[in-house]
Amino acid sequence: MDVGVPREIKNHEYRVGLTPASVKELTVHGHRVLVETAAGAAIGFGDDAYISAGAEVVASADVLFERSELIVKVKEPLAVERARLRAHQTLFTFLHLAPDPEQTRDLMASGALCIAYETVTDAAGRLPLLAPMSEVAGRLSIQAGAHCLEKAQGGRGVLLGGVPGVEPGRVTILGAGVVGRNALAMAVGLGAEVSVLDRSLAALRAIDDRFGNRARTLLATRDAVEQCVSRADLVIGAVLVPGATTPKLVTRDMVGRMQPGSVLVDVAIDQGGCFETSHPTTHQAPTFEVEGVVHYCVANMPGAVARTATLALNNATLPYVLALAEQGSRAALLDDPHLRDGLNVAQGRVCRKEVAEAQGLDAAAALELLSG
């Protein structure tokens, strides 16, 4: 199969779909890999490394899309990239379609098979391709939030760990999934006072077993959310409903009752965000203020540590890329129901229920589309 790896063009996005090591795995299995020039150069993967791994480096995205059957990316395709997609191609990348009807329409119009990393499952119902980026984003959320709390960044001037004789900063984490657990590990490591809220008692028990009295766990009732948010210096939005638009857990009224200079970090912004006052930002302009509260809502947070994130992502995605290349996309999707959970758009139809519901569309059955 001809596999294409374009250079990412989203603002300050330096990750790359395949590393040279991943390319080598494909080429030794007899597949042809095309890599757009400079696709990985910003994180130390130069064109020479890809050539040594057996790839062909091409000069432009137009050439790469024209010659490739399987396109492996990191972030959702922008409009210019979506215009290059054709019906015989498969796109394998993060999509986050639920809050993005324009992207959904373009992908439907392309006729391509579009597989989203974030909805591929495993036998236990987990999200193995989303997990590594959630780990990165969870850890980064505390790092970013601590920076935003500095007075020069518009924050309250609070050091999360405090110092002897001065109380530590207060952190509230909404969600006890992969993002929340990784944010918690970082916040506890810094010495902050941390509260974690979730609707799952099992998830809260797991946190209590691991962290004991270093973290406070609370059932995420409306009252508990209001109280914890109002007293927090830093709130991490770590809520996920797989494939669906994120519920707005923090209202504008709650934001208005926070201390001026407090910080919100919305890790869920890719799926619409869990704060009513959120809107997507970029690494170039990462923050804005509402009601005197600093909002950090960068839609590609792991891009800030692009080399680490690329290596972590490739560790998870490579087996699926190999399966798609070895078997062909349709056969691989028919063979593996967990990979098939990642199929969001096929033959001009949305086949992910949560995306269809978010946009008022009729969902098609993926198995029927592929079999037909």
Active site residues: 96, 270
Closest Cα to residue 71, out of 82, 80, 56?
Answer: 82
Counting every residue written for the chain, the total comes to 372
Coil, strand or helix at 125: coil
| Segment holding 44, helix H or strand E | none
3-state DSSP helix/strand/coil % of the chain, to nearest 5:
45, 20, 40
**C-beta separation of 72 from 4 below 8 A:** yes
The distance of Cα 271 from the centroid of its chain, to the nearest Å, equals 9
DSSP 106-168: HHHHHT-EEEEGGG---TTS--TTTHHHHHHHHHHHHHHHHHHTSGGGTS----TT-BTTBPP
Cα separation, 314 vs 325, in Å, equals: 15
Q: Is 105 exposed, middle or buried (0-12, 13-18, 19+ CB in 10 A)?
A: middle
**Helix-helix angle 306-327:131-148, to 10 degrees:** 160
